[in-house]
Structure 1
């Protein structure tokens, strides 16, 4: 007979001891010792139901709190992908799966092309105050500006935009509920630019720094697509001077013409470390100095550049092309150089990992300083690129077939880190958005639906047909009116947590502007 050892039981078939412990999370039963050994050894504890068995069908926060009290800091879930999930993450996932959606019906056709939220200084009866202003552009070249939050009440000539409730956040909501975000149209509502407003970008830092009076976006870049008779142009909106809340003049009168490229401008991005910006065109990508308008080409290609994204250092650039290729461009050597001095490269049009012969694989020429080993291939034309700020090597990419993927720039040869299934798109340049803590990714679809996924697990958390036309633009923000300063020694993540877990996203379409409160 085997010797009894406290805390262990003996398996006669395997001729070895096994520790006595509870069931593995997600399992239905545990292996029991043989009848012969069980009579001579302490009986292992009987199988008990896990927290997941009792709470897997529950979506209420109160029951999740009970689960935490019963099971410590984690919640056991019966899922194939992630058997253990942090309690806080599960709470947030439940919150974002029940959003509140509002529609601003009096902003039709003014925000379907581009949206940007910038902080500016505005004079009020209480002095100079930093407020959030949303800039919106349309296919007709119209530019509009709106103050977000209660600060709009100080506008003498401002017009309040009244929203209507589209989707209740819970069963207790009714149409008398107050909207989570207030929107005030600035005086002299629109400014007309020569053509389609293709992009609005601000080179803002991710958070304000204590010690100075609040960060403002000194230069906001605006680009137009161009028309048959002329190419696209680059403009800047000067925000160095405070805007007077008693002024009857338009804030958009500060738009200044900067440069014209003589080609179609599809997209743009601004560096967060200096005054440079980059534009994506039908001929390639070019750097633009926002101080003097100097233009220098950093990439020449026969495929249109539809999406751009600076890295955090400002020395690298992701370029998404119409043929589905994503290039990683080093702009340090190319800065100030002409296209004749750029290096020639031969890049396959499709992924080299595809099972096709070298003779049948098509190649295309590009001129630029690229990292060929970091080239990424999407199934269709690239519609959106978005670098994660908290994890600087990761970026999200979407294509015009509805494909959304997460990549690690250090391991692009191994394919995407995560994929997000369920989105529908056939031909639109739909924009992605992420929450301030970069836990969730948001996208619209050409089926008029809005969807949100967990970035880490890829799980689809929300899907609903909310719109009457595809939501083409997306911008996310923290809680409404959030202008807290960064305390000394406080990290960026701590700063975001101080803003609260509440965050929202703005979605522009041809038939209106929508605001979604995700908690």
Structure 2
């Protein structure tokens, strides 16, 4: 190539005796410094929520922009996909229904389930909601226009949006619920958790998964400790029988001389872990045998067992989030739990205004993977599709997204708008893991985008704290995507099936997206 000629888009460097493209950085100049990590974060690019989104725009405006610009939309400093913004737009406009007469029923624990029924036309499956209260009542509500077909039906009231002309339409689409006599029992103390096996509580239910049962725990009282139960959901319910009682399907597996704050179970429902005021214990649900996997002076308020069933996350009263290996040790090895001195983070010591530098904890734990939040841990949720990520909330209102591999660097994402000071409030993540929901002490219900951190919905829908929440069990699309059907179309079809339940002292609530 001739030297020194002016070529469009290039410049000539005499010292290097070659041409360089003008659009790239000029050799020898400094590049902008980009923070690097050992792993990339597929969910978030920043710990700050996006300053602009399309959720405030009309749907027609969003569709118009897509027609003009395609499936990639331009925001102030980033680009986003149309489908993501459209789903966030949908999530920001839920319809919320409250069921009359369900007060003091679902303020301690809540879990949607699938149950089998004997009917006059044969056996069928239907949706139900298993709820527990602070006063110790465990209830199974049938979901449908006539509930279970027997007993008492509860009618819904539209509480959001507060538009009178929408009420008539809301009743047409509303899911009524019902409860049969015998489908509610009084436990020995307050309910503390209701858990389903991870596989059963995800999107997919199939005939090969025959271990369908729920793990129920009670908190304990002044006269007795907490207990762990198994509720069988395998056999069909015969609600028409006059002798029916949900207590007939309850089996007490183990009892403790301490308070049980929380629990979780593995995908086979063969073992469970419980969080207590003395630490964390593993329970064999077949034999009832128990073994302590973590002991300490700080209560375990939140737990999450990973998909492998080998590791649990424990959220402590002192704000620490510990990773505990619960695999059985080889025979002949020492059975005593290893004692650790865990240093508090400087941030934690500053918040608590204490000079204490460390706390003691015994167990097979990894101190290097410890994370700290400013206050006691309220809830933990591991993500299924991004198995290295988990969400955590604290009792000061903090909601954070963490990476197991980068806990020392702090959270990857924060979620603003949550109000809490001392209450144990559940986080709930939808089956597609796009959104997280939680109530607050200000009685607001909030929905955030997990990926962007945007607060999509924040409204007062209850007169008391919405402390329990769960997205409804949704079956996957039965057919597999073919070559002509795009993945976006499948995601759009799934998004139309969003439903969620939450409970407060005022009663049981249902959310759906019309």
TM-score normalised by structure 2 residue count: 0.83
**More moved, 116-125 vs 305-314:** 116-125
Q: 1-side partners of 2:104 and 2:181: how far apart?
A: 18
Question: What is the aligned counterpart of 1:173 among 166, 171, 175?
Answer: 166
> What residue is the counterpart of 2:431 in the other structure?
436
Q: 2-side partners of 1:510 and 1:427: how far apart?
A: 16
> What residue is the counterpart of 1:397 in the other structure?
392
> What residue is the counterpart of 1:187 in the other structure?
181
Return closer, same or farther for 1:172/1:87 CA change in 2, 3 Å cut-off: farther
Question: What is the aligned counterpart of 2:368 among 368, 373, 379?
Answer: 373
* Correspondences of 1:295-444 after superposition (within 5 Å): 295-333=290-328, 341-351=336-346, 360-444=355-439
SS of residue paired to 1:93: helix
> What residue is the counterpart of 2:448 in the other structure?
453
Q: 1-side partners of 2:448 and 2:490: how far apart?
A: 23
The reply on whether 1:263 has 2:258 as its aligned counterpart is yes
* Deviation of the 1:339 alpha carbon: 10
Q: 2-side partners of 1:137 and 1:338: how far apart?
A: 41
The reply on whether 1:221 has 2:215 as its aligned counterpart is yes
Are the equivalent residues in 1 in contact too, given 2:402–2:410 (CA < 8 A)? yes
Are the equivalent residues in 2 in contact too, given 1:216–1:239 (CA < 8 A)? no
The reply on whether 1:164 has 2:162 as its aligned counterpart is no
Are the equivalent residues in 2 in contact too, given 1:139–1:197 (CA < 8 A)? yes
Return closer, same or farther for 1:427/1:209 CA change in 2, 3 Å cut-off: closer
* Deviation of the 1:66 alpha carbon: 1.2
* Deviation of the 1:89 alpha carbon: 0.8
Are the equivalent residues in 2 in contact too, given 1:474–1:507 (CA < 8 A)? yes
Q: In terms of Rg, which structure is larger?
A: 1
Q: Supply the RMSD in Å over aligned alpha carbons.
A: 3.3
> What residue is the counterpart of 1:242 in the other structure?
236
The reply on whether 1:114 has 2:122 as its aligned counterpart is no
SS of residue paired to 2:63: helix
SS of residue paired to 1:424: coil
Q: 1-side partners of 2:90 and 2:362: how far apart?
A: 47
Are the equivalent residues in 2 in contact too, given 1:209–1:486 (CA < 8 A)? no
* Deviation of the 1:513 alpha carbon: 1.2
Q: 1-side partners of 2:211 and 2:56: how far apart?
A: 45
Q: 2-side partners of 1:365 and 1:57: how far apart?
A: 47
* Deviation of the 1:159 alpha carbon: 2.4
Q: 1-side partners of 2:350 and 2:419: how far apart?
A: 27
Question: What is the aligned counterpart of 2:140 among 140, 145, 148?
Answer: 145
* Deviation of the 1:60 alpha carbon: 1.5
> What residue is the counterpart of 1:469 in the other structure?
464
> What residue is the counterpart of 2:69 in the other structure?
71
Are the equivalent residues in 1 in contact too, given 2:349–2:356 (CA < 8 A)? no
Q: 1-side partners of 2:402 and 2:291: how far apart?
A: 29
TM-score normalised by structure 1 residue count: 0.82
What are structure 1's unaligned runs of at least 5 residues? 20-54
The count of aligned residue pairs is 467
Are the equivalent residues in 2 in contact too, given 1:103–1:513 (CA < 8 A)? yes
> What residue is the counterpart of 1:510 in the other structure?
505
What are structure 2's unaligned runs of at least 5 residues? 12-18, 24-52
* Deviation of the 1:64 alpha carbon: 1.1
* Deviation of the 1:172 alpha carbon: 6.0
